Chain A
């Protein structure tokens, strides 16, 4: 009886000690990838949260692909305008120095490589950098929005997502099973468990979430994972 109690207690305790990242922490880790002078496009969901963690000492301009550079925070209540929204259809503000343009110019700057970094969510990522995030045949058809344009042209693409889907299956795969959004384009993945780089040889583990063991990351990655040397914990 005592042993069982002790076991339950230990599990309970470990649960608090070993914690996968929540979505805010994933955003916080991605914000460390930002550099001074970057023009950045943040996708819907976790990527949007990255805006909350931009270091104060660097200048980063956020692009919203409906046609805005210099996106600011949400407006103060009562000052929101139906005419000023981001790509997630949320009411937003402009910052001093911002500019507004039509959607063709918006994708023009994406296609011609002026946007330094794109952060977006995904349903699946494969070891060669393919990404699937727009369609589940027969179930969900929402459309690709600007994702296909972004992944086809962005110089640096970081995916923000949970390591596994709600069913517990790995979202990191040898080959995507869902219809693709783009091929050979993802450079890095930040999940609740790890930071993984996509190299010519496949997934390479760079960092692990605090308290998460390498074995767990390997077990939850449905592809080969290169583990080279000591893997540090993320510095959050």
Chain B
């Protein structure tokens, strides 16, 4: 059985209306561009998307929002997307804002086979509403559940046919965590290499977590805040 598939359209073929998706990336850094495009083209609706951010108005998950494909967004920060804010304030879009570390760790828990974690983030705030609070060694913690997602869609720098993945720089972010956390993991990579070409010592995501892999095309890799200096 091969994990290798041809393209994003094939990768997302069984994603249907109402699916719960995890999408890797931080801002526009390390997002699965090919699969997002394919999802927009397919037009599946009522999706629940777990992703740190919601893209920008005309790129990333922002494209799916514009297309009204997202029923619920689970994110930590959505400040760069005016359409998101509009849909949220008008009540069209359901949103669950959760602390970034909690988001990451709820993915991690799923990938490590743990049903829940305790974290101090959000104690005493509206994030704590309705959640179990437990005191350990004099400090309060919230019980947060591991995510349950149908698909994780991640983007890596290099991958092999076994599904082993390596990420580049800070494009790693949530990708390896989400890759571990869903029932089916789809990986799009910039460069697909033969088995054996990646040093086993430097694998970030072991292939066991990856179900489908393909080499993506036409990466735009848009920069949100281009900050540079002239100084040498």
Select from chain A the residue with minimum beta-carbon distance to B88.
A141
| Structural contact, B126 and A179, CB atoms closer than 8 A | yes
Select from chain B the residue with minimum beta-carbon distance to A183.
B124
Interface residues of B in 20-60 (CB under 8 A from A): 26-30, 52
Interface residues of A in 134-161 (CB under 8 A from B): 138, 140-149, 152-153
| Structural contact, A146 and B100, CB atoms closer than 8 A | yes
| Structural contact, B89 and A141, CB atoms closer than 8 A | yes
| Structural contact, A142 and B77, CB atoms closer than 8 A | yes
| Structural contact, A148 and B99, CB atoms closer than 8 A | yes
We find that the number of chain B residues with CB closer than 8 angstroms to chain A is: 60
| Structural contact, B228 and A77, CB atoms closer than 8 A | yes
Contacts of B76 in A (CB 8 A): 143-146
We find that the number of chain A residues with CB closer than 8 angstroms to chain B is: 56
| Structural contact, A82 and B28, CB atoms closer than 8 A | yes
| Structural contact, B229 and A73, CB atoms closer than 8 A | yes
Interface residues of B in 215-229 (CB under 8 A from A): 221-229
Asked if B78 is at the interface (CB within 8 A of a chain A CB), the reply is yes
| Structural contact, A183 and B123, CB atoms closer than 8 A | yes
Nearest-Cβ distance from residue A42 to partner chain B, whole angstroms: 14
Asked if B61 is at the interface (CB within 8 A of a chain A CB), the reply is no
Contact A74 to B105, CB < 8 A, known contacts A82-B222, A101-B172, A144-B99 = no
Asked if B97 is at the interface (CB within 8 A of a chain A CB), the reply is yes
Asked if B102 is at the interface (CB within 8 A of a chain A CB), the reply is yes
Q: How far is the CA of A110 from the CA of B56 in the complex (A)?
A: 28
Select from chain B the residue with minimum beta-carbon distance to A185.
B124
Q: Which of A102, A138, A179 has most B Cβ within 10 Å?
A: A102
Contacts of B228 in A (CB 8 A): 74-80, 91
Q: How far is the CA of A104 from the CA of B100 in the complex (A)?
A: 9
| Structural contact, A91 and B226, CB atoms closer than 8 A | yes
Contact A146 to B99, CB < 8 A, known contacts A76-B229, A76-B231 = yes
Asked if A181 is at the interface (CB within 8 A of a chain B CB), the reply is yes
| Structural contact, A83 and B173, CB atoms closer than 8 A | no
Those 8 A-B pairs whose CB atoms lie nearest each other, nearest first: A107-B101, A149-B101, A142-B79, A183-B124, A82-B221, A148-B99, A145-B77, A143-B77
Could you jot down 21 A-B contacts, CB within 8 Å? A66-B29, A77-B229, A80-B223, A83-B157, A83-B171, A89-B224, A90-B227, A91-B225, A102-B104, A103-B101, A106-B104, A107-B100, A107-B105, A138-B89, A144-B77, A146-B100, A148-B122, A148-B125, A179-B126, A180-B125, A182-B124
Given A82-B221, A111-B120; 15 other pairs, CB 8 A cutoff: A66-B173, A82-B171, A86-B170, A90-B227, A100-B172, A103-B100, A107-B101, A130-B124, A141-B78, A142-B85, A143-B97, A144-B100, A146-B101, A152-B121, A182-B124
Q: What residues of chain B have their CB less than 8 Å away from a CB belonging to chain A?
A: 26-30, 52, 75-80, 85, 88-89, 95, 97-105, 107-108, 119-127, 157, 168-177, 204, 221-232
